[in-house]
Amino acid sequence: MKKISIIGMPMDLGQMRRGVDMGPSAIRYAGINERLKPLFDEIHDLGDIPIGRPEVAIDKESNLRNLDLVAEKSTLLAERVDEVIQSGSFPLVLGGDHSIAIGTLAGVSKHYNNLGVIWYDAHGDLNTAETSPSGNIHGMPLAASLGLGHHLLTDIAGYSPKIKAENVVIIGARSLDEGEKVLIKEKGLKVYTMHEIDRLGMAKVMEETIHYLKDKTDGVHLSLDLDGLDPDDAPGVGTPVMGGISYRESHLAMEMLEEARIITSAEFVEVNPILDDKNKTAKVAVELMGSLFGEKLL
């Protein structure tokens, strides 16, 4: 029996632009439940993790924005994701800014010995307090999950690291900070920048990604940031970067992941309806989920 559980994580604490906390509502409004109905035997919408309206707080020692709150709310998300997997259901998390991945991966990874991660994003999200130009935690979740950064972020759910560098593939990168570039080379992370996507084509990139992860992982988490797509196709994001992955290429990527049957958990993040055009980005997110979960044209 195919079961899926939807968890809303309306968190905007990892960055400065308001509105991304409305992402889960926008995705629901765009029809996610209706879209998934023909594809699953059971759909459970578990509502949203309570975030409230906390005041912005800068940690004096690390200069990180909302550090304690992000850690606290990430722990709540990790617990919910853990429960979903224990119940035999597929966890689908709706963001929220990308800092939510710290909680998602903390809840997912304890169920796998070698969790793979596909990071579909314009950014590497590999900063730490030492390398971050902004102190925004939404630029740090992949680093934190690799065990790098402030202990409050790396130790969510009581263990670290959550994932291994050799089990990560970043797809769509085109905006990397200097510290992130150093870390990518140091750790040997597999990265497909837009240069590789243009040169090889998305089909080849996905074939290589699937081949790279399939045999050495026992599950694969998809962390899809809508800013991985070109801003023409997904305008409602906080940090748009020109020259991104196209709508059609993204559908192909999701369809190939579905055919490979390797994805065991997923999150779609950074939908900001305030910056959007008629909920276009949320609709794109829902359409990509349709492809990821087995929707077919014929």
Per the annotation, the verdict on 177 as an active-site residue is no
Quick check: is 218 catalytic? no
Of these residues, 227, 255, 258, 295, which one is catalytic? 227
Handedness of CA 57, 63, 171, 221 (dihedral sign): negative
Active site residue 44: no
Separation between Cα atoms, residue 178 and residue 174, nearest integer Å: 12
Amino acid letter, 280: K
What six digits make up the tokens of 43? 């759909």
In angstroms, the CA 239 to CA 3 distance is 33
Beta strands in 19-156, from DSSP E residues, in sequence order = 42-48, 90-95, 115-120
Phi, psi of 259 (to 5 degrees): -65, -35
- Concerning whether 195 is annotated as a catalytic residue, the answer is no
Is there a catalytic annotation at residue 155?
no
Determine whether 151 is an active site residue: no
Annotation says 68 is catalytic = no
- Catalytic one of 98, 150, 221, 251: 98
Which among 123, 98, 84 is positioned nearest to 228, based on CA atoms? Answer: 123
138 is catalytic: yes
Catalytic option among 82, 138, 251, 276: 138
Here the tokens at position 228 are 């991985």
Q: Which of 12, 21, 82, 125 is catalytic?
A: 125
Which of 82, 180, 225, 295 is the catalytic position? 225
Catalytic residue among 21, 48, 123, 230: 123
3-state secondary structure 247-270: HHHHHHHHHHHHHHCCEEEEEEEC
Tell which residue, 17, 191, 211, 149, has the closest CA to residue 96: 17
Q: Which helix (H) or strand (E) holds 173?
A: strand 168-173
Those residues with Cβ within 8 angstroms of residue 195's Cβ, 6 or more apart along the chain or in another chain: none
d(CA 277, CA 190): 33
Q: Of residues 270, 276, 287, 295, which has the active-site annotation?
A: 270
Q: Are 250 and 134 in contact (CB under 8 A)?
A: no
Measured distance CA(239)–CA(133) in Å, rounded: 14
Catalytic residue among 12, 82, 121, 276: 121
Q: What are the residue numbers of the active site?
A: 98, 121, 123, 125, 138, 225, 227, 270
